[in-house]
Structure 1
Amino acid sequence: MSRALLAATAAGCLVLTGCASTVALQPAPNSGASACADISVRLPSDLVGKERRWTTAQATAAWGDPAAVLFTCGVTPPGATTMPCRTVDGVDWLVDDTDAPRTLVTTFGRVPAVQLYIDTDPTGGVSSIDALTALGPLISAYTTVTSECTAHGGATAAPTP
């Protein structure tokens, strides 16, 4: 699924799930990865003060009503890019904030890749750093590092050992 299509789908979910108890999401192409199952069963019931809600797809999660954070495991791992790449507690994240105050972040250099769509609006959203810090240990523990961010903030593949 392309970034633009995923962002549009996620934005629609954020708007449409205001009163619903279950959040409708699509599974990622690699959502059946065992690491996604390992992460999914360990996701917190509360994330940055937002209660977890049921979702309709494997290896997904949502927190808040309306949803402030959408989680998808098993997205296609991104390749080298000039997008900003930030490291939070040892996990590299590509940051796409073109839909501010919503931010789309995708793990870089990890398999399976994880993506979060975070509403950072001050009137009902959450801190993206707090969300990344809360989920980072799970992602670190159950995904495999394949690449890393470069010093200048972009993302390139790590050299093969």
Structure 2
Amino acid sequence: MSAPRSGRPPHRLARRLAAAALVAFAAPLLAACTPAVPFDPAPDATDPDCASVVVRLPDQVAGLDARETSAQGTGAWGSPAAVLLRCGVEPPGPTTLRCVSVDDVDWIIDESDAPRYRFLTYGRTPAVEVVVDNDAVSGTTAISDLSGAVGAIPADGGCTDFEDLGGLTDEG
């Protein structure tokens, strides 16, 4: 006695199986064809400390997968890219912008182009810049996920509060 048939001709089933196998095989190859995120490298992207940062970059930031980039000392996450990192930017000088410490890394926050926020390490040379599309992901989560890698650059300073200035008064 033969096995029951599904009512479909055998060649249709074979074609469906072949198509499914092709999709399963081609999906990783097509994903690899995603174009690299275009970047201009930062002036000091070739600094050895930037290489230390890049090799420590996580595979995911704020739940977004890492993307290939077109320049040394860079990283990107999301499709479209919602988190962009450049190592080797000019370290900032004193500023009145808000400065926060996340996992022992101090970051200056520039909100002037909201909802795109620019985070810049403070007290590290070379500096690292992270631009986050806050409509897509949380900037706080992104810099928290990146602080471990950025911590590869030794700190030579950091944020200060008014209270840290000690002894200054309105009179002098």
TM-score by length of 1: 0.77
Deviation at 1:30, TM superposition (A): 0.7
CA distance in 1, matches of 2:113, 2:94: 21
Deviation at 1:68, TM superposition (A): 0.6
CA contact (8 A) 1:112 1:144 kept: no
The aligned residue for residue 39 of structure 2 is 25
The aligned residue for residue 146 of structure 1 is 156
Deviation at 1:139, TM superposition (A): 1.4
Which structure shows the higher helix fraction? 2
Task: Show structure 2 runs of 5+ residues with no match.
Answer: 1-33, 164-172
CA distance in 1, matches of 2:64, 2:58: 10
Question: What percent identity do the matched residue pairs reach?
Answer: 44
Deviation at 1:74, TM superposition (A): 0.6
CA distance in 1, matches of 2:75, 2:143: 14
SS in 2 for 1:135: helix
Q: 2:84 aligns with which of 57, 63, 70?
A: 70
Measured on the aligned residues, the alpha-carbon RMSD in Å equals 1.4
**Any residues of structure 2 matched to 1:8-157 within 5 Å, and which?**
21-121=35-135, 125-140=136-151, 142-152=152-162
Deviation at 1:48, TM superposition (A): 1.3
Task: Show structure 1 runs of 5+ residues with no match.
Answer: 1-19, 154-161
* Count of equivalent residues: 130
TM-score by length of 2: 0.72
CA distance in 2, matches of 1:59, 1:139: 11
Which structure shows the higher strand fraction? 1
CA contact (8 A) 2:110 2:117 kept: yes
CA distance in 1, matches of 2:123, 2:143: 16
Deviation at 1:22, TM superposition (A): 1.3
Name the amino acid aligned to 1:89: D
Deviation at 1:45, TM superposition (A): 1.6
SS in 1 for 2:68: strand
Runs of 4+ residues deviating >4 angstroms = none
